[in-house]
Amino acid sequence: MKRAMVCLGVLAMSLLCGPAFAQKHVPSKVDISWNRFYDYKEMTALLKQLEKAYPDLLSLQSLGQSEQGREMWLMTLNNSDTGKDTDKPAMYIDGNIHGNEVQAMEVVLYSIWYLAKMYGNNDDITELIDRCAFYFVPSVNPDGRANWFREPNTPHSQRSGQRPTDNDFDGDLDEDGPDDLDGDGHITSMWRFDPNGRYRRSAKDPRIIERVGPDEKGELSRAGSEGIDNDGDGRINEDGAGGYDMNRNWPGGWQPNYIQFGAGDFPFSFPETAAIGKFILAHPNIAAAQSYHNSGGMILRGPGAKFRENLYPRGDRAVYDLLGAAGEEMLPYYDYMIIYADLYTVHGGTVNWTSEQLGVVSFTNELWTDTWITKSDDTRLDSEARMRWIDRMMFGQTFTEYSEYDHPTLGKVLIGGGNKYSSRNTPTFMLEEEAHRNFAFTMFHAGEMPAIEMPWIEVKKLSKNLWQITIEIENTKIIPTRTNIAAQNDIGTPDILTVRGKGVEVVTSGTLGDRFDTTLSPVEHRPGRMLVERGIGSRSISTFRFIVTGTSGADVTISYEAEKTRNIKQTIKLEEKVYEAEE
Amino acid sequence: MNPAMRRLCLMAAATVLLCGTTSHGAGPYDGYMNNDALVDAISELAQGSAVCRVATIGETGSGREIRALTLASDPDAADENPAILIVAGLDGRHMVGTETAIRVASRLLSEHSDLLDELTFYIIPRVNPDGTEINFGEVNAGYIGTLTDVDADRDAMMNENGPSDLNGDGVITQMRRPNPPLDDRAEFIADPVEPRLLKKPDAREGETAMYSVYIEGVDSDDDGKIAEDGDGSVDLDRNFMHEWPAFARDSGAYPLSEPEAMALATFVIEHENIVAAVVYGRHDNLINKPDSKGKDVSGRGPKVIDSGDANLYEQIGTLYTETTGQKRAEKNDTAGSFHAWLYAQRGIPSFATTVWGRPDPAKKQTDENGEDEDEEVDGNGDAETSETDAAPASDVDPVSGVWTANITIPEMGDMDLTLTLERADDDSVTGSMDMMMGTATLTGSFAPGSGALSLSAEFSPEITIPLALMIEGDEMTGTVTGPDGNATDLTGSRVSSNDAGGSDDAPQGEKKDKGKIKASDENAAAWLAYSDTQRDGAGFIEWTEYEHPTFGTIEIGGFVPGFNMNPPADQLDALANPQTDFIVKLTEKLPKLRVEGPTVKKLASGLYEIRLGVINDGSMPTKTAMARKARTMKPTIIRMSVPVEQIVTGNRVDRIWGLDGSGGRSVHHWIVRVKDGASLSIEIANGQFGEQGVSFKAAPTD
């Protein structure tokens, strides 16, 4: 955006004219329409095309198979000319762990597509890609996704993976799911004709079923979602496909099923979470994470449970707040929220694991909130307004008209209502905007993964063959090289600052408050290989001093290693000098 | 790193740094089965047996097989009967559990095969063969966990500085560094009561720290820490889900990160027929009553057990202590343990025992043969007698043991002393006296008739102080005549005796406990006394000076790892017999489901009322209170054959989440519209007790 041109000519003509944000068209080698959704098969095909089109940047691998045998695709985006992915700070980005939250996949796919096509055509993105690596899992729940597209569903069904599960404890698995009785390809609602019912069809719009007033007579009562009693136990739709929640199956504050519904028997008990967990554990270079969900327009951070509140030290909260504030600006109808405090308690969620157990700065974005159809953030839609918007903007496409149906056990019922596209999913004509805004926020997040440099090194001679080397290490980004949560809980490996050279011996070393500080806080042991437990903080400079012996002019190599950013190294000479990085 | 290489590392360290190898007596695992012997023992049990089958339930980190025995009359249908799971060997040091599991299996097969018609036993004798193997190596370092590498000091170097057997005694113990220099810090003193033990100084008593204490080893990576990053490992009994220690170094990267833990958990989850489990290991919930009040971190689960199961654990705990006679068991943190998970998340009643606890002190020194018997019997009664009777009439030696005494010196105030005395057969007495000025050597004699004890305390060849003492029971009074000829009073009391019946464990009445000075860690002191008096000192390496490469002169010593978990191998058979008895008695307590009815009442032509009862005749509940809450053990499912539209009242499918013990019942009631005389059936399915069905006619029963 900062490169956007302001048209001076237009400005001269009209004082009312603001800055224009537009950009030159950069074609992609893979044409993808962003005004539609893609099922699992189409997603797989597009991922393969992208990899083929951008082989220097993209590599597609399967992390394993889902419960039903679908490949768990992971796309790595890395420019190997600037180093191995594992040597760079990396961002892990996934979506669609809930099978019904489909557009999360499109947002991830869009991100891959946009980054790949812009590399070499845009300085900001080129720089970001050259510095960082990205790991994308577009669909964590490919089975749920496949079912949602293929089968009649509601906006909320197929959240679970597809491992057959005995939801109603009758010994049978997935034996009584919903049924598409009216044949519209969706699972909608059933209403029973009931003279004592408390609902009626609205006189203004018969598609609206409204509650009657206290002194009015109704005609309908709720009969649940569309279906029959398939197993003859007297209950309808009580045991459909799956019946768990993979976003409760991660080993961060994991709790058993009776405390946290959907948790599974143990963390990583599903093939999907196990495959991804294994990958993430093998990549300690992951410094940032985003998991896309729908819906509600939220930028969520942990903790998921109150008892983990104290795990987030003040320094980390400040980091989240800075990023979250940027997110609220870039996603104008989104709110930055804390999961347990502002939403509900979640044990064992993806970001709970990555942020609390692995020390990775992580967000979950809840895509879309349906009031945004109005493009006004203070509009609450009542039923009539909602129908109006559906009619005018969607030409009624997300609604199935009510029809009468002879139900085998309920008698005559009305079937109809919002179909599976009627809530949670971004209207396709707005999908590209939603994808781009979220992508841009996530790239902002990625761009703030730690980057370190040595802006200033001073060598001073103390006496013959005795030298003082003072080193500043600067992190120019918001995310520290080690989050406080990691430092406080012994997560991962501390950063390591090494000073060595031929014939050079480190006598003592330590940290300083700043370059003018005269009192060294020394390390007692192994002074030439300092463990920097707290890393380099958010947008800050840490100062270190080494007292070494060595002959004048000897080479000394200073290196700083950190799990979550690129290691840096500089060689200097033992002679009075100040080394300053070029601006 | 494979185990052989680990051994090599330890050995290499030992040979480089050491001055000579002197082997220390019998190790704690002498006579125990290593992995090869265990494989043989398992094969022997299964060989030619129609009712014992061996299966591999998984592999360890190094590829060793984890074996499970299945004992069932029809092994092919083993999973259809209710089962008891017996698990041992999660902790690499707990060898007694494995030995017991094999003996229990053997005796179940030889003497209780009648049980196998209706019950299945799954016995997993050693979950952690990798860890065990290391303990059978050249050096006993008390290896607990798996082979998973852990960067314990998080310095990006793996296993670079483990313990080393500096003194070459084949045991990793401790180092204590007296009066360390300024770059180190003293934090301990020798316990004044039992100077071989270390304790934190008590500033109120004017105690000043004297020793810094380390694991036996060196600082090979020059980080100022000794033996801080050795081989492995993840403790399997901290790798399970309940109260998993999230940020500990020995609990794994995530729950079930270890293949051994995963294999065991998977086995449990796949065997819904498990109705109870007995876990031999370092935990105990049979002698030490499990906490039934605390809550877990979420506030919604139990810390240890649900209050609804307190009675169950008390009942089985009593059964256990009555059957086995075991009186005490070490208490260990159960966070992340296998048995805690089994109960708190699966709902399976899981009984944990250490199998062996610290024996009572031996009663009589002269009774050479009595040692084994003595430590198994309840010695409390004998101890009581020593309190009232005159010393000579008692079984207990009135002299030998550790005494703390106090002398009042004019113008100097009080001074505490510790006397360690030993009486020989000829009534001569030798010993030592520790006091502020130093240690004195004691010699003298005892007159059994009068209780008079005369001792000379020699501080140096120049200073000798006569002590004239009287001993009555565990009290000592007397006079001390100093070099200046002035006499001062001395009072003392016995702290521990070489042979007295239970100085600290047996309830001896208030009188005895009052004023008695105890070691700061009484349990450790008692183990030490047991090692001294009954094990020839095998449990403790006496502190011995050693020239450390960087610390200079230090002392090496301490408890032998594994000693306080494992009895001498010749006691294993005797120990295992009551364990088998306990298992057999446990089977008698198991829930027993009985179906009563159905009773059928004709309400009108074509309208029948049916009642069916499911009753638990066993004394244990069919499901723990925890299982009913957690709903991980499947319910009993009652399925009526009449189609739902013909059922006037009642559910076509009913679920019973659990029945209490001793007659707990669930009655199911239907009114159905069926033709007179129609054939009906009710199916009763239960994950633990199999399926059964009842068929009947729509006709009145009596």
For residues A64 and A270, the answer to whether their CB atoms sit within 8 Å is no
ipTM field: 0.94
Residue A531 touches partner B, C-beta closer than 8 Å: yes
Cβ contact B539:B530 at 8 Å: yes
Any idea what the CATH number is for the domain that residue B685 is in? 2.60.40.10
Residue A15 resides in a domain: yes
Does residue B702 lie within any of the structural domains? no
Beta-carbon neighbour count of residue B9 at 10 Å?
16
Chain A: closest CA distance from residue B101 (Å): 27
For residue B653, list chain A residues with Cβ-Cβ distance below 8 A: 168, 170, 233-234
Same domain, residue pair A95 and A30? yes
- For residue A120, is it left (φ>0), alpha (ψ between -120 and 50) or beta? left
Which residue on chain A is closest to B637 by alpha carbon? A170
Q: Are strands B413-423 and B428-435 parallel, antiparallel or unpaired?
A: antiparallel
Q: Residue B13 in 3-state DSSP?
A: helix
User: How far apart, in whole angstroms, are the C-alpha atoms of residue A315 and residue A318?
Assistant: 5
- Per DSSP, A530 falls in state E
Whether A169 has its CB under 8 Å from any CB of chain B: the answer is yes
> Which residue in the set B151, B255, B634 is minimally distant from A254, CB to CB?
B255
Do B475 and B617 lie in a common domain? no
Residue B16 belongs to some domain of the structure: no
Q: Are residues A409 and A458 in the same domain?
A: no
**Which candidate in B243, B266, B298 is best for mutational testing of the A interface (most A CBs within 10 A)?**
B298
- Residues of chain A with Cβ-Cβ distance to B223 below 8 Å are 525-526
Q: Which domain holds residue A234?
A: 175-241+371-418
**Is B494 in the same domain as B384?**
yes
Do residues A459 and A442 share a domain? no
How many helices (H) and strands (E) would you count in chain B?
Answer: 13, 28
Residues of B in contact with A357 (CB under 8 A): 246, 254
Greater confidence (A245 vs A18) lies with A245
- If one counts the domains in chain B, the total is 3
CATH code of residue A494? 2.60.40.10
B223: nearest CB among A229, A277, A526 = A526
pTM across the whole model: 0.86
Question: What's the pLDDT at A1?
Answer: 40
CB contact under 8 A, A266 and B256: yes
Q: Are residues B380 and B311 part of one domain?
A: no
Q: What is the DSSP string of A466-484?
A: EEEEEEEEEE-SSS-SS-H
User: Which of B501, B521, B546 finishes a domain?
Assistant: B501
Residue B47 lies in a domain: yes
Chain A residue with CA closest to B652: the answer is A233
In terms of Cα–Cα distance, which of B205, B223, B214, B204 is closest to B180? B214
Contacts B645 to A, Cβ<8 Å: 409
The per-residue pLDDT for A546 is 98
**Is B567 part of any domain?**
no
Claim to verify: residue B90 and residue B128 sit in the same structural domain: yes
Give the C-alpha separation, A239 to A227, whole Å.
11
A82 and A219 assigned to the same domain: no
Domain boundary among B501, B536, B563: B501
Same domain, yes or no: A135 and A268:
yes
For residues B119 and B240, state if they share a domain: yes
Q: Taking Cα atoms as reference points, which of B167, B140, B113 lies closest to residue B34? A: B140
CA distance A402 to chain B (A): 27
Q: Mark yes or no for CB contact B644/A234 under 8 Å.
A: yes
Cβ neighbours around B157 below 10 Å, total: 15
**Among B297, B623, B654, B692, the residue to mutate for chain A (most A Cβ within 10 A):** B297
pLDDT tens, residue by residue, A454-511: 999 999 999 999 999 999 999 999 999 999 999 999 999 999 999 999 999 999 999 9
Number of domains chain A contains: 3
Q: Tell me if A165 is assigned to some domain.
A: no
Give the contacts of A199 (CB within 8 A, at least 6 positions apart): A191, A209, A210, A211, A212, A218, A219, A220, A221, A222
Is A127:A443 a contact under the CB 8 Å cutoff? no
- Would the CB atoms of A490 and B249 count as touching at under 8 Å? yes
| Residue B291 and residue B142 share a domain | yes
Both tokens assigned to A298: 């939220």
- Substitution target from A258, A509, A533 for chain B, most B beta carbons within 10 A: A258
Q: CB neighbours of B137 closer than 8 A, spacing ≥ 6?
A: B3, B6, B7, B10
Closest Cβ opposite residue A526 in set B222, B269, B298: B222
Q: Is B303 helix (H, G, I), strand (E, B) or coil?
A: coil
Same domain for A347 and A249 = yes
Q: Is residue B669 situated within a structural domain? A: yes
pLDDT at B498: 54
A81 near B CB under 8 A = no
Instruction: Give yes or no for a contact between A501 and A465, defined as CB atoms under 8 angstroms apart.
Output: no
CATH of the domain at A318: 3.40.630.10
Strand ranges of the sheet holding B664-673, from the earlier edge strand across to the other edge: B593-604, B607-616, B664-673, B647-649
Note whether A496 contacts B298, CB cutoff 8 Å.
no
DSSP B661: T
Beta-sheet pairing, A335-338 with A298-301: parallel
If DSSP states are collapsed to H, E and C, what string results for B30-50?
A: CCCCCHHHHHHHHHHHHCCCC
CATH number at residue B243: 3.40.630.10
Same domain, B391 and B338: no
* Amino acid residing at A257: N
Any domain includes B688: yes
Of residues A4 and A415, more confidence is placed in: A415
Q: Let me know whether B384 and B352 are in one domain.
A: no
Which chain A residue shows the shortest CA-CA distance from B628? A258
| Same domain (yes/no): B243, B109 | yes
Q: CA A109, CA A132: separation in Å to the nearest integer?
A: 18
State which residue of chain A sits closest to B627, comparing Cα positions: A258
Q: Nearest by CB to A490, from B247, B254, B651: name it.
A: B247
First to last CA, chain B: 73
The rounded average pLDDT for each run of 10 residues, N- to C-terminus, in chain B (702 residues) is: 40 34 62 96 95 97 97 96 97 98 98 97 98 93 92 87 93 96 94 94 92 94 86 92 95 97 98 96 97 94 97 97 94 95 98 95 52 36 32 59 74 71 81 74 78 76 73 78 69 65 38 60 94 94 96 96 96 97 98 93 97 95 96 92 96 96 96 97 85 91 78
Q: Would the CB atoms of A255 and B256 count as touching at under 8 Å?
A: no
Distances (CA, A) of B348 to B103, B615, B622, B636: 24, 20, 10, 15
- What does the pLDDT read at residue B425? 77
Identify whether A572 is part of a domain.
yes
Q: Contact B653/A170, CB-based, under 8 Å?
A: yes
Residue given tokens 């290593």 in the structure block: B34
Average pLDDT over residues A541-547: 98
In a domain, A16, yes or no: yes
Domain boundary among B588, B618, B634: B588
pLDDT at B412: 55
Q: How far is B255 from chain A (nearest CA, A)?
A: 7
Tell me whether A528 touches chain B (CB under 8 Å).
no
> Distance from A305 to chain B by nearest Cα, in Å?
8
Q: Tokens representing B492?
A: 């003392």
A6 vs A357: which has the higher pLDDT: A357
In a shared domain, residues B583 and B658: no
Burial A84-111 (b: 16+ CB within 10 A, else e): ebeebbbbbbbbbbbbbbbbbbbbbbbb
pLDDT single digits (tens) A381-391: 889 999 999 99
Do A376 and A299 fall within a single domain? no
pLDDT of residue A124: 97
A136 in the same domain as A180? no
Q: For residue B388, what pLDDT is reported? A: 31
Q: How far is CA B500 from the centre of its chain?
A: 25
Residue B139 identity = V
Contacts of B649 (CB under 8 A, 6+ apart): B669, B670, B671
Give the gap in angstroms from C-alpha B700 to the nearest C-alpha of chain A: 26
CB B381 within 8 A of CB B328: no
Residue B570 included in any domain: no
Q: Is residue A157 part of a domain?
A: no
Taking a contact as any Cβ pair under 8 Å apart, which residues of chain A between 240 and 269 contact chain B?
251, 253-259, 265-268
Q: Are residues A443 and A476 in the same domain?
A: no
Indicate whether B393 belongs to any domain.
Answer: yes
Contacts of B643 in chain A (CB under 8 A): 232
Q: Distances from the Cα of A60 to the Cαs of A43, A44, A216, A358, B536, in angstroms? A: 12, 10, 61, 25, 66
Cβ–Cβ < 8 Å for B152, B228: yes
Residues in A touching B685 (Cβ below 8 Å): 171
**Whether A120 and A214 share a structural domain:** no
Alpha-carbon gap: A489 to the closest alpha carbon of chain B (Å): 6
Structural contact between residues A554 and A453, judged by C-beta atoms closer than 8 angstroms: no
Both A412 and A523 in one domain: the answer is no
Substitution target in B222, B247, B691 with the highest count of A β-carbons within 10 Å is B247
Q: Which domain holds residue B404?
A: 375-501
How many residue contacts between A and B have a Cβ separation below 8 Å? 109
Residue given tokens 């809980």 in the structure block: A489
A558: in domain = yes
On whether any CB of chain B is under 8 Å from the CB of A309, the answer is no
- Do B314 and B395 lie in a common domain? no
Assess if residue A83 is contained within a domain: yes
For residues B291 and B386, membership in a common domain is answered with no
Which residues contact residue A289 at a Cβ distance below 8 angstroms, ignoring those fewer than 6 apart?
A91, A92, A93, A350, A351, A354, A355, A360, A361, A362, A363
CATH of the domain at B415: 2.40.128.120
Q: How far apart are CA A518 and CA A532, in angstroms?
A: 20
Specify whether A308 is located in the same domain as A382. no
